[in-house]
Structure 1
Amino acid sequence: MIPSKKRWIGRAWKAVLAAGLSVSLAACAQNQEAAKPSVQNHPAPAAQSTPAPAPESKEPEQVLRLNNFTEPLSLHPGLITDVWSSNVIFQTFEGLTRIDKNGVPQPAIADAITASDDLLTYTFKLRDNAKWSNGDPVTAQDFESAWKWTLDAKNGSEYAYQLFYVKNAEAAFNGKAKPEEIGVKAQDDKTLVVQLENPTPFFLELTAFYTYFPVNAKVMKEHPDWAKEAGPNYTTNGPFKLASWEHKTKLVLEKNENYWDAGSVKLTKIEMNMINDANTELSMLENGDLDWAGAPTGNLPLDAMQSLKEKGLLEITPKAGTYWYEFNTLQKPFNNKKIRQAFAYAINRKDLVDNVTQGGELVATAVVPPTMFAENEQGLFKDNDVENAKQLLAEGMQEEGYASVDKLPPITLSYNTEEAQAKIAQAVQDMWQKNLGVHVKLENQEWNVYYENVKNGKYQVARMGWTGDFNDPINFLEIFRTKDGNNHTNWEKKEFADLLAASSKEKDAAKRKEILRDAEKILVDEMPVIPFYFKSTVYAKNPNLKDVVISGLGNVQYKWAKFE
């Protein structure tokens, strides 16, 4: 770190805070000049025939400093499920396609893509100059072996189902087909042929998602633990490479000179701190020690939201995501649908988004975001329906043999340690106790421990949510198709799963949408999760940082980022 740069950025940021200037994502694309220190020009002595030379302008240092919030759960593309890991992997790896600045999939590692007339077979021709960070060529075998590794159930990929669009992928994962029967084949080093189960209109979005990323097959074979540490075995094929990894402290990425499009990459380094405190993060931004605060990996302090908003510094963009609480439907009393509904209806979502989160979120009384189902701005049930909630609770208790509220099993609401999650949980605790008369205990844990407990069913009610991996409703609904993968609720229903299966075979877009709408109605009626609000991307940044690309799914790309 260069101290003079730190002080200069700190002064610039504080000046922006004082002036209340607006920092917006749209401005990232504009050609704005960075603030420069003023230069005082003194007249030359009379005897001097030429003016003194102007001081040389200094190029800004292209080092981005941000907070990744917590230790990534994994940096293996086939094992990632969380935003903190994906924020790293989207910078270090690249798939056959990449989502561009306009949200459209474009050729990436593949420079030519053809599809059969029935949209069941895709042929990808890989770039001749696509290389790994160690100089190895990126081959079609790297994709084939990576996908098949993820589809080997013993490797424990929670996102393996994202590959089930590939022919025989699901059957292979369940042991009902051989790996060689999976519909992905390296025809030669630079030709990958993929066969699908059904026509999949969003398939080229999927190939830009990390579950579809390649892994260096040679390295993976010789070093099975290649993804656990930084070093020569951690090879990547994206704009950046992993330079160092101080676990639970800091990750450093450096520009990957072997990247096929290295000329488009302006940043030389990205420093990713792991600071699990929103107030510290914002303070570091204001002092010039960070260049970004908030989404995608964290939240701005709720107490600072109004002040940032008044100064025009709070940046909010809609995101295809839903914040929800999950029920463990195997644990009493939430094995009962009516009791689950009662707890869902007894929440005042409007009060939460207006007075607690304050991030421009939309009230959610459905699961699929309105970016995919526009009707869901109205939702599928009434917000803050307290009288109905009381009636449903009484009926559910009668069905389960509870004579009164005080006879219910103790109820624990779990959340990961973070200021925003604590304030939401406290508000919900108060609503449930006031509206339903139940006693609710709060429990918080550091994220990695918390998430392991949720995955292993060691919870009653837990804060979670979902942000889209691609822009289609199936991505939110298929989570609950079976009890496996990312479904931690232990809920499943054959009627729901059958509708999802029918949607995959329906070629008429309008009919497919109706099938998926019917499936969502079943999910919301059964209420294994309580939707709270549709998410927003909320952040603040160094005003001299330009061309950071935030997708409608909330993913951030630094490939084109630069300081001016």
Structure 2
Amino acid sequence: MKKSKFSVLALLMAIMLILAACNGGSKETSNEKEGGSGDSSGSKVLNVNNSSEPGSLHPANAQGTHESWILEHTFEGLTKKTEEGKIVPGSAESWEISEDGLTWTFKLKDGLKWSNGDPLTANDFEYAWKYALKPETAADYAYQLYYLKGGEAYNSKKGKEEDVGVKATDEHTLVVTLEQPTPYFLDLTSFYTFYPINKKVQEENPKWALDAKTHVSNGPFKLTEWKHKESLKIEKNENYYDKDKIKLDAVNFALIEDENTAWQMYQSGELDLAYPLPVDIQGQMVNSDDKEFKMGKELAVYYYNFNTEVKPFNNAKVRKALSMAIERQKITENVAQGGQKPAFGVVPPGIPDASGDFQENTGNLFKEDVTEAKKLLKEGLAEEGMKELPEFSILYNTLDSHKKIAEAVQGMWRDNLGVEVTLENAEFQVKLDREKAGDFEISRAGWVGDYVDPMTFMLWETDGAYNDAGWSNKEYDNLLKEAKSTMDPKERMDALHKAEKVMIDEMPILPVYFYTKPYMVKSNVTGVFAPINAYPNFIYADKK
């Protein structure tokens, strides 16, 4: 859609805030003392905001953080991560790796159950992984299972399901065979595409993941309410093996696209945790001593896709000109205001190299240069038989922070290149769908690493599931194959450094900055932590 809309929910919330102010909104009610947000039962309920309506809460069909945040609290993989990022047993009790690194044998914990009481076995993992690879499923993240022997062949209809390298040899044992040794495979087993699904539920009702009444999961919480485009509720799963360590009784997710509305709700006590924050609030909090403000590390990059299949964005000189003509430091300091680092590549800080930090070793792969940008733009347009850029727009999802960044880029292109661009906002799921359909010229995007390795940021392989730019380069593809074919750390990292440079030299995307993770959490809430590649985690949180 071309125009922003206020949701009915946002309007009602605004009215509630006004009424609260008129009645002395700073007073704490008895309900707030006991449970928060109108809960008088004394139960512990955490209230948070999720910025978009999930498209699906099915591990195989989820696409983004608006879905994974909920999945990470309602499901559990073979492994999970601690606050420090250490990989520890999840549904698996232990695992063994063969000397050649190709065979992984996982032993599941005893007595595992689904939220509906069904026993959870190794067969549920085998079924789930093969379901995600099944061509008819059309899972965007199927490629994460290509590490399995025969996984890519099956997904591309060139192989058989029975040849895929995952097999439950009994109810407690899952044997996994890989195409080649993969150093970060254990990390991947904590990722949501590797979660199990209940075979019986899936086969009886293929739409089970779209309704709270039919949703079945295996994690610390279970989905109990889903008012579409309004709110979700997850409650403690009494069938979870570690239930005695779960202190919260429930978590309410308000589905709010406007971070300013979410911030007002946090201030009024309606939310216990707010993320993301409005950019001006981030700017105020970064240098404050407010104990409720938390600055988590983030393994993510903010960027713009160029649709390389649309003229003149098929021309690398045009793309590079637009990238070189923006001023990233001004965007991070004056617009984003969250302590972000300007990005001159796509792999963020925080990933180990063969020696040191990968991003620090890379350095800046290009520079900002308005004079050179003007020259490249003129040359690129001439090569496409054009004298000036045709009308085009930046597509972004409906958050005020994205709008402000797009406005800043719009102004920089106007001032530095004399280029006019329009802005277009859409709901997050609509934006994702349009990117998949190629229905855009330039679109705002962000990528959070699925695991802690540079490979998770190498999205632009020919026909890659998240290569929304539609870019293709044989040298880049071959370098990724080289990196996947060796266990030697230096050889792997050298190939990945070269691949990142090849991609940036052609600029199918425009890197803007590396994220940080600023959020607010009330002082009476403990146990919340922010994993480096995920939204704030409150599985073991408590509320006084």
TM-score, normalising length: structure 2: 0.90
Corresponding residue number in structure 1 for 2:543: 563
Q: Match for residue 400 of structure 1?
A: 384
Secondary structure class of the residue paired with 1:319: coil
Cα offset, 1:381, TM superposition: 3.6
Aligned to 1:312: 289
Q: Does 1:273 align with 2:254?
A: yes
Deviations 1:285-316 (A, max 9, x none): 1111110112xxxx211232333345423422
- Aligned counterpart for 2:308 among listed residues 329, 338, 351: 329
> Is 1:365–1:376's contact at 8 Å kept on the other side of the alignment?
no
Picking from 348, 351, 376, the partner of 2:359 is: 376
Conserved? CA contact 1:9–1:288, under 8 Å: no
Q: Which residue of 1 aligns with 2:524?
A: 544
How much has 1:436 moved relative to structure 2?
A: 1.1
- Between the aligned partners of 1:363 and 1:450, the Cα distance in structure 2 is 24
C-alpha distance in structure 1 between counterparts of 2:463 and 2:201, whole Å: 33
Q: Structure 2 vs 1, CA of residues 11 and 525 (structure 1 numbering), >3 Å: closer, same or farther?
A: farther
SS in 2 for 1:65: strand
Show the 5 A alignment for 1:161-180: 161-180=143-162
The Cα shift of 1:530 comes to 0.5
RMSD: 2.0
2: CA distance, partners of 1:525 / 1:532? 15
Counterparts of 1:182-221 in structure 2 under 5 Å?
A: 182-221=164-203
d(CA) in 2 for partners of 1:355 and 1:128? Answer: 54
What is the Cα deviation at residue 60 of structure 1?
6.9
Q: Is the 8 A contact 1:250 1:274 kept in 2?
A: yes
Q: Aligned equivalents of 1:307 and 1:524: distance in 2?
A: 34
Shift of 1:458: 0.3
Matching of residues 65-214 of structure 1 within 5 Å: 65-214=47-196
Distance 2:299 2:346 in 1: 11
**Is residue 490 from structure 1 mapped to residue 470 from structure 2 by the alignment?**
yes
Contact 1:80 1:86 survives alignment (8 Å): yes
Partner of 2:500: 520
Aligned residue identity for 2:455 = I
The worse-fitting range, judged by mean Cα deviation, of 88-97 and 436-445 is 436-445
State the AA in 1 paired with 2:378.
A
Give distance in 2, aligned partners of 1:92 and 1:554: 14
Secondary structure of the 2:317 match is helix
Which residue in 2 is equivalent to 1:532? 512
**How far apart are residue 561 of structure 1 and its match?**
0.4
Aligned equivalent of 1:359? 338
* Deviation for aligned residue 1:248: 0.6
1-structure distance, mates of 2:287, 2:381: 47
Q: Which position in structure 2 is the counterpart of 1:244?
A: 225
Residue 409 (1) aligns with residue 382 (2): no
Q: Which amino acid aligns with 2:244?
A: G
SS in 2 for 1:423: helix
Classify the secondary structure of the residue corresponding to 1:159. helix
Confirm whether residue 442 of structure 1 aligns to residue 426 of structure 2. Answer: no
Q: What amino acid does structure 2 have at the position aligned with 1:455?
A: K
SS at match of 1:533: strand
Look up the match of 2:328: 349
Gaps in structure 2 of 5+ consecutive residues: 1-22, 35-39
1:104-133 deviation per Cα after TM superposition (whole angstroms, max 9, x unaligned) = 111111102111111110111111121101
Measure, in 2, the Cα distance between the counterparts of 1:80 and 1:553.
16
> Percent sequence identity over matched residues?
42
Contact 1:380–1:524 under 8 Å retained in 2: no
Cα distance change of structure 1 residues 503 and 9 upon mapping to structure 2, 3 Å threshold: farther
Q: Equivalents in 1 of 2:26, 2:108: separation in Å?
A: 44
* Equivalent residue number for residue 408 of structure 2: 427
Structure 2 counterpart of 1:288, from 245, 269, 291: 269
The CA deviation string for residues 110-168 of structure 1, in whole angstroms up to 9 with x for no partner, is 10211111111011111112110111111111111111111012211000001111111
In structure 1, C-alpha distance between the alignment counterparts of 2:339 and 2:512, rounded to whole Å: 13
Distance 1:186 1:9 in 2: 57
Residues 432, 438 of structure 1: 8 Å contact kept: yes
Q: Which amino acid aligns with 1:436?
A: L
CA contact (8 A) 2:182 2:487 kept: no
Indicate yes or no: 2:371 matched with 1:387: yes
Question: How far is the alpha carbon of 1:416 from its aligned partner?
Answer: 1.2
Q: Which moved more, 1:243-252 or 1:391-400?
A: 391-400
Structure 1 window deviating more from structure 2 (481-490 vs 318-327): it is 481-490
Confirm or deny: 8 A CA contact 1:549 1:556 kept in the other structure: yes
Distance 1:387 1:60, change over 3 A: farther
Q: How far apart, in 1, do the equivalents of 2:197 and 2:43 lie?
A: 32
Residue aligned with 1:325, SS: strand
Maintained 8 Å contact 1:347/1:383: no
Aligned to 1:253: 234
Of stretches 461-470 and 58-67 in structure 1, the one that deviates more from structure 2 is 58-67
**SS of corresponding position for 1:185:** strand
Report SS of the residue matched to 1:549: coil
Residue 461 of structure 2 is aligned with which of 481, 489, 499? 481
Q: Is the 8 A contact 1:481 1:496 kept in 2?
A: yes
Provide the C-alpha distance between the structure 2 equivalents of 1:112 and 1:308, rounded to a whole number of angstroms.
42
Give, in angstroms, the shift of residue 521 of structure 1. Answer: 0.4
Aligned counterparts of 1:518 and 1:11: Cα–Cα separation in 2: 59
CA-to-aligned-CA distance 1:307-332 (integer Å, 9 cap, x gap): 33454234222211000000000001
Greater shift, 340-349 or 307-316, is seen at 307-316
**Deviation at residue 10 of structure 1 after TM alignment:** 6.0
- TM-score, scaled to structure 1: 0.87
Task: Report Cα offsets for 1:499-530 as digits up to 9, x if no partner.
Answer: 11111112210121001100000011111111
